[in-house]
Structure 1
Amino acid sequence: MKNVRSVYKKLKEVKYHYLIKFYKKYLSRVPKNCKYNYPYKISEKHEIGLCLCHQPELDLSKGIYPNLIDVCYIPEHCTDCNAFINKYTKEDIKRMFEEELKDQKIKSKKYPDICALEWVLEQSVIDIPTFNYLQKIYFFLKKLLLKRIL
């Protein structure tokens, strides 16, 4: 990378790439992305998805009708399902992605390239002094030289 502008452009490009992956993950037709799918633990290691689209209410604390439950845990079920409604919108996904980027631990584990590019940007910003700082030095040196001359 030759300059700050190219690093910033690359950072935007990498973030966009990860956001597209996020969209693909959360907008795909798989059981976990369905509004009606409820993951139910059978044992410590196993979990199945229950489709609650025929239930009068999706609140499980009020009870369910067992005869109206479908088992849905295979992605092929979702491709043919007419009741599939995605539980995430694009705005929700973008907000989730931005929240992940705010958490430094998640960011350092899942997105090390973003961290590296941000570090490079921080170093380049630190290395370039601001105009006000240079102006203060200029006036200080000018005052110092004038005192010595007089």
Structure 2
Amino acid sequence: VCFGFCYYNVTEETYRLRFRSLTVPTGESVRETYNRIKGLYKRWMRPEMKNKEQLGETIILEQYLRVLRPDVRVWVKENQPLTGEGAARLAERYMAAHREPPRTSKGTVIVGRSKVEEPMDKTMGVPGKYSNATLICFYCQQPGHKASLCPP
């Protein structure tokens, strides 16, 4: 959300990140640290413009984004939800779009009530992996897997 500061790319997110920073500038007194953190809080949360529920929702949204898988978090943040509920809806949409079909322990893909055998990678012998060395993960940019299978 931009409140006229976006020209310099300074947004509520910028203030949130600065607020959450664990660094203290060299030579800053304890009182100056307190005042700096309080000022960052006010610029991030904008309490004069929000009611109690909206302030709480901002904190809930931040924590919710923190616990999401990295690939889901990036996608949800790109869609700029304003509430935790909005973020949850976006995360559900992302997960539904990237859902892998259920598999049996033998690597068989279950489609509806029927089973479809999936080819195995001859080099690794692992079902569901691609042997194509040119496949690059969108999330980590490493070869050999896709983003939905990216190890955390």
TM norm. shorter chain > 0.5: no
Which of the two has greater helix per residue? 1
TM-score where L is the length of structure 1: 0.24
Task: Please identify the structure whose Cα radius of gyration is greater.
Answer: 1
TM-score where L is the length of structure 2: 0.24
